[in-house]
Every structure is written in C-alpha cells, then in structure tokens.
Structure 1
Amino acid sequence: MKRFFALFLTLVLAIGVLAACGPQNNQSSSNSNEGSGSEGDDANKPEKLVVWEDTDKAVALEPAIASFEEEYGITVEFKELGMADEIREQIRLDGPAGTGPDVITLPHDQIGQAAVEGLISPIEVDQSVVDTFTESSIQAESYEGNLYGLPKATETPVFIYNKELMDEAPETMDEVYDFATDFTKDKNYGFLALWDNFYFANAVLAGYGGYVFERTDEGLDPQNLGLNNEGAVEGTEYIQKWYDEKLFPKGLIGENGGSSMDGLFNEGKAASVMNGPWSFQGYKDAGIEIGVAPMPKLPNGENFQTFIGVKGWHVSNFSENKEWATKLVEWISNAENGKIRYEKTGEIPPVKSLIEDPIIADNEAANAVAVQSSYGVPMPNIPEMAEVWEPAASALQLVATGKQEPKAALDEATKTIKSQIEQNHSN
C-alpha cells in the first residue's frame, strides 16, 4: 500500500512539473518579453543584428555596438550608406529579398512615406524611454499616432555671425535690421538668409502664425493648410521688406543662393547669416571666427519657428527580430551613447539630460542649436509634404523678385498644393 502511494505521489509530482512547462509558463515568457533583458527574450535571441548607419557616422555607433554586444551577447554588424536617399532606396530592394538590415537610420521627414510603403515598423517602448527625449523630437518620430523610431540627433537653422564684423549676436531682428541698414553698402551685407527657400522662410511665416498643416491629436491634417492665412501673409511681407530694400543681393535667389551666401560670408563680406550647423566647419575652414546664437526675436516679439530636422533609428519592417531590434534602438539612442555621438560627430542628441550637460550647455554653437530647437517645429513627415516645397518656393521667389504680392502668391501656392494633394494622395 505504501509502495502504491509512493508511486502515485511520484506521478502527481511529474505531472506538476510538466504543467509548469505548459501554456501558463509560455504566457509568462511572452509577457516577460516586454521587459529588457528578460528570459523570454533570451529564448528568441538572434545571433546577429544588422544596422545601416549614415555615411561617416559609424565612429559614434561603434562604441554603442560594443557595449550592446557585451551586455546581450549578440553580434551587431553595420554598414554605412547615404541617409538622405541611399538607405531608403536600398531597403526597398534588400528588405523583401531578406538581405536587409534590422535597424536603419532615416531623416524624420521620410518616416511617413516609409511607413506607408511598409519599410519600417512601429515600435513599442516604455514611457520612461520616451520621456528622455524632447517632445518635439518624439513628435518628429511619430506618424498617425504611432512611434516609428527614437531620435539620435537634431538640427535647425541658427544665427551665425562673423566676430570681426559684429561684436555680439543681437537679441531682436529689429536690431539686425538696423545693423544691416548701416552696414550694407559696397557689396557688403549685414545679414543674409535664404528666404526664397521654404525650408528657411517657414520659420518667419510660422513665427507670425502661419503653418503648413494643422496639427491635431491624430497627427498632421493635410486638408488644413495655413500657408496663406493672415500670419503667413504678414510673415511674407516681412521677408519682402528685406528684398525690396536691397538688403539681400540679387544672387541670393534660386538654386545658387546657398553658395552665393556662403561665398559672401567666407569672404568677410557678410556680417551674419541664418544657416544650419552643417555650415559651421566650412566657415571655420575659411578662417572666419564665428559666433553662434539662437535666432533673434521677430519684430512681433515671437521666436523664429525654424524647421527641426531629426535623425532617428528605426526598425525595418522586414526584420525577423523586431523585439531585439527595438532593444538595440533603445540602447544606441540612450543618454550615454548620445553623449558619445556628440563627442565624436558633433551631432546634437535631443536627450533632455544632455541639453543641460556642460558638454553641450557650455558649447556656444551646440547650445544655440539646442535652444533654437526648443522654439522650432518638426518638419512635416507626412507624404503630402512632397507637394509643398516647389509651390511654396515659387511663391516666395515671386515675392522676392517683386513679381507678385505676398497674399496673391501664397493664395496661388496653396491652391496648387491642395490640387496636388488631392491628385496624388487621395484614397
């Protein structure tokens, strides 16, 4: 009898052990996958992850990869490709073929189109991770209510001046205007800006109350344009003033405007310009001692609402390891690795704690970009934005050359944009 009971007890225990390995335990493992470094993740851990990084930026990625490999025991390989065009074009081919990456870097204005094409996947991360970044950078990485990546760097136009020609950065554009009025003569200019280029000009229009697309709780509304509202017209009239009073040279209009502006500044013939951090090194190489500051306040007392460009990390929709790819995205974009990226590339991570860090706060140029970014707005990342650039630029050029008044030019541009959106983006 005792022997029978012992056998019975052994059988019960065996069943209990098997039950512990059954569906309930699998459910627990599934839930644990949501946490970092969980045992459930380890069960599906890949041997390798692949990252596509921007050209000449891997020097900042390598230390992040090394620490990730040490932490998780996963090999991470990387490849450098042109971020603006090459990466998106290549993943269209390599992704479906199964030879593409798990993680890619993209400029945020490509997110909408990449999401529509099914090239990138929405990601889910803890709110604590989201909260480490600035609100505008997370906004830039979102599309139709979903988060599609985490930011790695941000950039926006700022006020750059030649310290030999201008003692300090003015606080207002009224001061800049007064300086330019006195300084502009004999082919020398007090201030230059590419305001026939909508990328730069929108900062003025938005500062007066214009906008491209209305922002709603669901995202940007392409049916609601603010490019010809009262504020946009007032902002364009302010731009018109600089051209009408010949404070900008004729050569500052059109495709060659950027090279003309840089040439004048590098030759010491322009005291100040509105340009982005990509121009800093070229100016320094020309022997100019530059000062950098946030854009001075507009005459209405508001800040320039410059377009913010955000570079981010994204999970390929073709990846077979999306959870681990997301974990890698979190790792390489965290504060520690963001700081390394800034030290090695000069790219400014939109991580809240780093903006206050002395490494950025005590650097004049980096701090100016960080502060101006806090005033700016993310460049629209929806596919409909492709229909805005050319008509908006045409309107600004018509105003700059005196061929059309601001209201008429903006009305015509808005009509064209709406028509193209309806034609190319209707369901």
Structure 2
Amino acid sequence: MKKNTLTALILSTLAVGQCLTVQAHATTQLNVWEDIKKSVGIRDAIKDFEKENDVKVNVQEMPFAQQLEKLRLDGPAGIGPDVLVIPNDQLGGAVVQGLLTPLNLDKEKVDAFTPASINAFRMDNTLYGVPKAVETLVLIYNKDLVAKPLNGLTDWLDYSKKQRAENKYGLLAKFDQIYYSWGAIGPMGGYLFGKNDKGGYNPTDIGLNKPGAVEAVTFLKKFYSEGVFPSGILGDNGLNAIDSLFTEKKAAAVINGPWAFQPYEAAGVNYGVAPLPALPDGKPMSSFLGVKGYVVSTWSKDKAMAQKFIEFINQPKYVKIRYISTREIPAQKAMIDDPMIKNDEKASAVAVQAARATAMPGIPEMGEVWGPANSALELSLTGKQEPQAALDSAVKQIHMQVEAMQASNQ
C-alpha cells in the first residue's frame, strides 16, 4: 500500500512538472502578423525557429498596408503582434507615434541587403526594420512588336516617332506623375528632401526645382511636345489608357510595375520585362523603390526574441523558399545573382532595377509632395507653363503645406 502511495505521489509530481513545463512553453511565444496569402513563404522557417528556440510562433494574416492601423489599437490592449509587416512609406509616421522598436543588427547582416532597401527602414540613422520584398517600376515590352528592349530613353523617343507615323505607339509612361518621372529627375540632379545632420531627411530642403530636375522635366516634355504620347494618358485615368493600348497591342512598351504582369498575361500579350532604359547622359533611370519589411512592435513582451525571429527567417535558405512560394522579389544582394532569379526574366528585371532605385522617403512630410509635384509636371509637360516656373511654384506650395502640417502637430 505504501509502495502504491509512493508510486502515485511520484507520478503525480511528474505530471505536475510536465504541466508546468507545458505552461512555460506556452508563455514563450511570438505573435506574428504576415501579409495576406504570404505566410506559406515562412512556414518552414517558423518550424525550424520553434525547434531551435523552444518557442511557439502564432501567425495571423492580414493586408500589410493595414497592419499599423490595427497595431494602434491591439498593441496597447496587449493583443497585438510582436512582429508585423509594413510598407516603408508608413515608417515615418509609425516612428513618430512610437509604435516600433529600434533593431540592432550586426553590420554583416545589414550589408547583405541592397543599400536602398535597408535604408528604407532607417529614420535618422536608426534601423527599425528588415526588408522582406521589393517592387519597382520596370520596362514591359511586346515581343511581337519589338524584338528586344531599346537601350536608351532617347532611342525609345525616336522609335516612338516612327510608330506614330504608322498610327501606332512606341513607349508609353505616366511622366505627368512624380512616381513615374522620378526615374529621370533623381539621377539628373533633382531630389525630394535634403539630409539633416543625423543622416535623415530634412523636410525643409526640397530639391524638385534644382537645375537637374528642370533639365529632366524639359527632356521628358519631348514625349508630349513631339506627339508620341496620346492626350488620354494625362490625369487620373491615364494608367487605364496606357493599359488598354498595351493590351490591345497598339503600344510597343510601357513603364509599369510587377502588378501589371498578371493582367497583361491574361490579355494574351507576349511580353518581356527589362530594367528601365538609360537617360541621355548614359546613367540608368532610377525609380521609386517600394519595400515591405518586418518590424517589431513597441508593445512586444520579448523584443529580443522578436528580432531573433526576423533575423532567422531572413537567412538565405529561407529567403529562397519564400521566393519560390510567394514570387516576391527579395532584397538581399546575393539573390540578384542567384540563378533562380537571374534566369527568370521578370524577376531579374525587377531585382536589377530595385538595386538602382531610391526608397521613397518614409517621413510624414512626403504626403505633402504628391499633389503639387504632379500638378507642376502636368503643367510643364503639356506646355502650359515653363518647367522652371512650374517646379518653383510646386516647391513653394510644398513648403507651405509642410509648415502647416508641422504646426498642427505641435
């Protein structure tokens, strides 16, 4: 009887110990928000991370552009994520509002990413995120109309003139919007914001009317003044007009992003993809770089483990698995030359152009740039105003809007 009692006591003690162990494991967990239909890309990495770190990772999918908005409510309530995914253009507002935790990565790990992609998650020299995927504008051309992409933007202008003589179009692009014309303005000497003494952006130094910017807009104006663009591509419906002409096979090439690949394929266009062409001075066109990145919530209960998770899933072997599953272009330098991407025309073009691109400034003041800049471009390119005068007016307007914005935030 005593023996049975002792045995029961031992078994009971072991059972309690096991319960405590399970409870301990259950409290060591990370909550991760991933983009819609993208968690499959990190599934294998999560399994390995859980084994190596004795931690449970809970994954929830939601649109990446809406995650910060949800974090504002769920974070303070204690039900938010440790790790989430955000677009780089939301970084500035998130940092100002205290939603994110700074990261501390070794130089070797930082250097593994293209400079533009990793810098997209810096604010005043402080790193807040690790790039997950990049997208940017590329040249998309109809292989049945032009055998291979032309090298320079001037070549495309000349080709487009010949096409118009046959009532067809060569290259089409929304140069009346800063998102598309930045590819010429940046490399030719214009800039959005200068730098402050911390290495971040100075929102009071706006360079959209500098000589290089004026020169760039004056060159782009030729596509309009020489009649190679239809008037219908101006304004809000311009992209629809461009897409229609390309899918109807009336235009040989367009400047657009990876989001257009599937619709063009569905329309039966035999298309190829290449990096953007060179500018008149031989420099390659730049573009705005959109970057999705993993960040850590300021309300995370285990910030060190959250950063460890981000570093773990961004090891090369897991990045390859993620690319195969999601087809999102990774930001690591080594992946640009990886045969898996190099031998894929579409992926390679995006990767090469992404390395030439400029991350869109993540500061809140960037929101004040779009309207005035687009208005100035439309006035300039259609000949209603000289480029210098239009850009001067835009810069003045942006200054006023930035000042008003900053005053309202004080």
1:152 to 118, 121, 132: 132
Match of 1:242 in 2: 223
Residues 44 and 121 of structure 1, relative CA distance in 2, 3 Å threshold? farther
Match of 1:133 in 2: 113
Secondary structure class of the residue paired with 1:349: coil
> Structure 2 counterpart of 1:415, which letter?
K
Q: CA deviation at 1:186?
A: 6.2
8 Å Cα contact 1:101/1:316 also seen in 2: yes
Deviations 1:122-163 (A, max 9, x none): 111222211211111111111111000101111111111000
Match of 2:286 in 1: 305
TM-score (norm 1): 0.87
Secondary structure class of the residue paired with 1:152: strand
Q: CA deviation at 1:218?
A: 1.7
Q: CA deviation at 1:99?
A: 0.9
2:172 to 174, 192, 213: 192
- Write the distance in 2 (CA, Å) between the matches of 1:284 and 1:87: 30
- Write the distance in 2 (CA, Å) between the matches of 1:218 and 1:45: 42
Match of 1:417 in 2: 398
- Write the distance in 2 (CA, Å) between the matches of 1:357 and 1:45: 39
Match of 2:316 in 1: 335
Match of 1:102 in 2: 82
> Structure 2 counterpart of 1:205, which letter?
I
- 2:192 aligned with 1:212, yes or no? yes
- 2:168 aligned with 1:181, yes or no? no
- Write the distance in 2 (CA, Å) between the matches of 1:45 and 1:308: 39
8 Å Cα contact 2:154/2:280 also seen in 1: yes
Match of 2:21 in 1: none
8 Å Cα contact 1:213/1:221 also seen in 2: yes
1:315 to 288, 293, 296: 296
Residues 249-398 of structure 1 mapped to structure 2, 5 A cutoff: 249-398=230-379
Match of 2:94 in 1: 114
8 Å Cα contact 1:46/1:321 also seen in 2: no
Pairwise CA RMSD: 1.7
- Write the distance in 2 (CA, Å) between the matches of 1:205 and 1:352: 25
Match of 1:16 in 2: none
- Write the distance in 1 (CA, Å) between the matches of 2:289 and 2:47: 30
- Write the distance in 2 (CA, Å) between the matches of 1:46 and 1:212: 46
Q: CA deviation at 1:331?
A: 1.5
Match of 1:36 in 2: none
> Structure 2 counterpart of 1:170, which letter?
L
Secondary structure class of the residue paired with 2:215: helix
Residues 238 and 171 of structure 1, relative CA distance in 2, 3 Å threshold? same
- Write the distance in 2 (CA, Å) between the matches of 1:300 and 1:46: 60
Match of 2:41 in 1: 60
- Write the distance in 1 (CA, Å) between the matches of 2:364 and 2:233: 29
Secondary structure class of the residue paired with 1:207: coil
8 Å Cα contact 2:153/2:277 also seen in 1: yes
Structure 2 portions without partners, runs of 5+: 1-23
Q: CA deviation at 1:63?
A: 2.3
1:92 to 72, 83, 89: 72
TM-score (norm 2): 0.90
> Structure 1 counterpart of 2:58, which letter?
E
8 Å Cα contact 2:101/2:298 also seen in 1: yes
8 Å Cα contact 2:25/2:55 also seen in 1: no
8 Å Cα contact 2:25/2:54 also seen in 1: no
- Structure 1 runs of 4+ aligned residues shifted over 6 Å read none
> Structure 2 counterpart of 1:399, which letter?
S
8 Å Cα contact 2:217/2:381 also seen in 1: no
Deviations 1:152-176 (A, max 9, x none): 1111111110000010011111211
Residues 19-30 of structure 1 mapped to structure 2, 5 A cutoff: none
- Write the distance in 1 (CA, Å) between the matches of 2:44 and 2:373: 42
Deviations 1:196-236 (A, max 9, x none): 12111111111211110124552122121110000101111
Deviations 1:70-90 (A, max 9, x none): 222211111222222x21211
- Write the distance in 2 (CA, Å) between the matches of 1:391 and 1:49: 43
> Structure 2 counterpart of 1:209, which letter?
G
Q: CA deviation at 1:185?
A: 4.9
Pairs aligned (count): 384
Residues 215 and 337 of structure 1, relative CA distance in 2, 3 Å threshold? farther
- Write the distance in 1 (CA, Å) between the matches of 2:130 and 2:371: 29
8 Å Cα contact 2:135/2:350 also seen in 1: yes
Deviations 1:249-307 (A, max 9, x none): 11111221112111111111110011111211211111111111111101122211211
8 Å Cα contact 1:58/1:80 also seen in 2: yes
Q: CA deviation at 1:188?
A: 2.5
Structure 1 portions without partners, runs of 5+: 1-42
- Write the distance in 1 (CA, Å) between the matches of 2:315 and 2:398: 39
8 Å Cα contact 2:154/2:279 also seen in 1: yes
- Write the distance in 1 (CA, Å) between the matches of 2:25 and 2:181: 50
Residues 242 and 201 of structure 1, relative CA distance in 2, 3 Å threshold? same
- Write the distance in 1 (CA, Å) between the matches of 2:294 and 2:379: 39
